[in-house]
Structure 1
Amino acid sequence: MKLLVIPFLALLSLNLFAQEAPAAEQPKISAEEFLQSLKPQSGNITLPNQVATINLKEGFQYLSPESTEKLLVDAWGNPPGNETLGMIIPTSVSPLAAEGWGVVITYDEDGYVSDEDADSIDYADLLSDMKEESVAVNEERKKQGYGSMLLVGWAEPPHYDQNTHKYYWAKEFSTDNAGENSLNYNIRILGRKGVLVLNAVAGMNQISNIKMQMPELLAVTEFTQGNRYQDFNADTDHVAEYGLAALVAGGVAAKMGFFAKLAALFLAFKKFIIIGAVALFGLIGKLFSRKSNN
């Protein structure tokens, strides 16, 4: 079960209401009208902040930040205020369908992330730490009246390409009362001044499909000239205070202001991140401690 679409399944009649209007006056639109209102784009897309381009091939479409907000809030039931650079959706399935999915795009401008730790990360050890912290997170969730959500393991172990500076992995989560586990597929592309973030959320039954399609998106997403990793100027550019391991664990959000970056890190699991902030800071502390010891 894909957590983002659960709130929408109850709206399969597709009566989408304006929140401000009284019940008797709420306008109704069809699914087709709603999808048309998203105004999907195709071809070569330059992201709104001009730092990167995505040359979409047949099979994918791009939604603007405004349309992304509309889909996430009005259709998928997420809270408003998601600061994104847009979203990529497959054309093979409607985003309104239970099996629909999308890739949310954000950018964390926290400086140049060194990849010097690429060959030294023990991902089994990192996973063990993250699992331990997810247990602590769930204790906080229970206190707040929320159900359990536990990190099961890697759905796809982390891979980093030192030539392209592209990084990807996938995590599997189990949740209370869910018919299936949830998948969060993560892509990070390192740039001169920050990290481009692409997160896809779906049910585990879609892992094979997403594994096939995400590498295609990875290949056609590039920083623009002047914003590429190799454009880094050590004399003038800011360097982030963390490395690759912290990206996998969620270090970007921790360093940049946890609550300001919720949508960027883990859009599907907002409550998990908010409630688990203290526990995850503990994990980030371990990562930074290791870095200083090394």
Structure 2
Amino acid sequence: MNARRILAAMLAAALLFVGITALQAQETDGQKQAVALQAAVDAMQKVLQPGPVEVKLAGRASLQVPTGAGFVRQPEAGAWAKVVGYDKDVSLLNPDLMGIAIPMSEENWVVFINYHAGTRVVDDSAKDWDPDALLNALKASNEAGNVPRQQRGEPQIEVRGWLEAPKYDSAAHKLIWATSTIEKGGDADEGTANVHAYALGKDSYFELTMVSPANEVVSHLTMAEALLSGLQFGGGQQYGDAVSGGDIKERSLTSLIATLPSSFMDKATAFAAAYWLWLAIGLVILIIVLVGLPRLLRRGDAM
């Protein structure tokens, strides 16, 4: 089959699913969102940088995007995220969002890359970490967020456990950990998993947040680790460099684990539970076909 027809068939199938869903609900919202999603994907396709490639972040660091992933800059990344469920008041869509990493194959994950300036993360608490105590603190933080959720009539959620207990590399000044987050009483396989990774600089840090279905995230941890490993602060911006001038806040390394904002927990759960996320990622995968279209066309025309 001609590659152009393959691409058209894939897109038609995805949009047909949205159309059927909207028809069954006797609403047009699904169709409108499909149009918005297609526009967002079209914009992303124009700026997608497939790995391996180096991208600059905030003038402070570089990211080596590995094979198997691609990078989408702002504002195209934020526009896509808004269409698939993140509100403006969520930290992932504030000006700190540098872009997103997406899969270049049929995998279900997305990584949001945020930059937090004016904050030095003090890492001396890592040596005293107790994984069980950290998990209990994270659960307590989440439970506190369940109170307003219940008042709003929204589902309560729970942190079921570590998928990856916190690991801090004191030489590279990088932290990674992962949990599963599900509705209370739900099946763990139906929940979402969030991989949280941090690279620390002298007076700022990068936060990488991977969202994936809980039953798949273990297979994506390697990619999260590769992205974190590929993020390096430039000269004069590294953790050991002298901090001078400015209003620099301090926060503990432990706080990056135990005090996630409830708004993020709410949105991460709703985002990954909704069929829109995985339909959206499915459409993003169409970009892969577009990126490789000349090669595919040569093969297709020869068939």
TM-score, normalised to structure 2, is 0.68
- 1:162/1:212 Cα in 2 relative to 1: closer, same or farther (>3 Å)? same
Which of 127, 135, 138 is the aligned partner of 2:146? 138
User: Which of residues 98, 119, 122 in structure 1 aligns to 2:127?
Assistant: 119
Contact 2:163 2:218 survives alignment (8 Å) = no
Paired residues of 2:103 and 2:109 also in contact (CA < 8 A)? yes
Cα offset for 1:169?
0.3
Partner residue in 2 for 1:217: 227
- Partner amino acid, structure 2, of 1:87: I
Give 5+ residue unaligned stretches, structure 1. Answer: 1-8, 16-21, 94-98, 272-294
* Aligned partner letter, 1:219: S
**Which has the larger displacement, 171-180 or 186-195?**
171-180
Q: Could you tell me which residue of structure 1 aligns to residue 284 of structure 2?
A: none
Residue 42 (structure 2) aligns with = 36
Question: What is the Cα-based RMSD across aligned positions, in Å?
Answer: 3.3
Q: Could you tell me which amino acid in structure 2 is paired with residue 172 of structure 1?
A: S
Count, aligned residues: 239
Match of 1:289 in 2: none
1:131-190 per-position Cα deviation (integer Å, ceiling 9, x unaligned): 233233223211111011111111110000011001000111121567612111000111
> Secondary structure at 2:254's aligned position in 1?
helix
For 2:286, the equivalent position in structure 1 comes to none
User: Aligned pair in 2 of structure 1 residues 115, 26: CA closer, same or farther (>3 Å)?
Assistant: closer
Q: 5 Å matches for 1:43-192?
A: 43-47=53-57, 49-74=58-83, 76-80=84-88, 82-83=93-94, 84-93=97-106, 100-175=108-183, 180-192=190-202
Q: Is the 8 A contact 1:172 1:184 kept in 2?
A: yes
1:113 aligned counterpart, secondary structure: strand
Which residue does the alignment assign to 1:268? 268
**Distance in 2 between residues matched to 1:103 and 1:127, nearest whole Å:** 23
- Post-superposition Cα deviations, 1:190-224, rounded to whole Å, max 9, x if no partner, equal 10111110001111111222112111111111112
Residue 270 of structure 1 deviates from its aligned partner by: 8.6
Which structure has the larger Rg over C-alpha atoms?
Answer: 2
Q: Is the 8 A contact 1:14 1:31 kept in 2?
A: no
Q: Any conservation in 1 of the 2:198–2:205 contact (CA below 8 Å)?
A: yes
Q: Does the 8 Å CA contact 1:182/1:201 hold for their aligned counterparts?
A: yes
Q: In structure 2, what is the equivalent of residue 195 of structure 1? A: 205
More strand by share: 2
Shift of 1:80: 3.7
Residues 221 and 12 (structure 1), Cα distance of their counterparts in 2 relative to 1, 3 Å cut:
farther
Matches within 5 A, 1:224-263: 224-233=234-243, 236=245, 240-250=249-259
Q: Given residue 203 of structure 2, which amino acid in structure 1 is its aligned partner?
A: K
Structure 1 position 27, deviation (Å): 10
Does the residue aligned with 2:80 lie in a helix, a strand or coil?
A: helix
Structure 1 CA distance, aligned partners of 2:34 and 2:104? 25
**Residues 184 and 199, structure 1, Cα contact 8 Å, conserved in 2:** yes
| Cα-to-partner distance string for 1:69-101 (whole Å, 9 max, x where unaligned) | 222122x222246121110111012xxxxx632
**Partner residue in 1 for 2:23:** none
Taking structure 1 as the reference length, what is the TM-score of the superposition?
Answer: 0.70
Q: 1:111, CA displacement in angstroms?
A: 2.3
User: Identical aligned pairs, as a percentage?
Assistant: 23
Q: Which runs of 5+ in 2 are unaligned?
A: 1-13, 21-27, 272-303
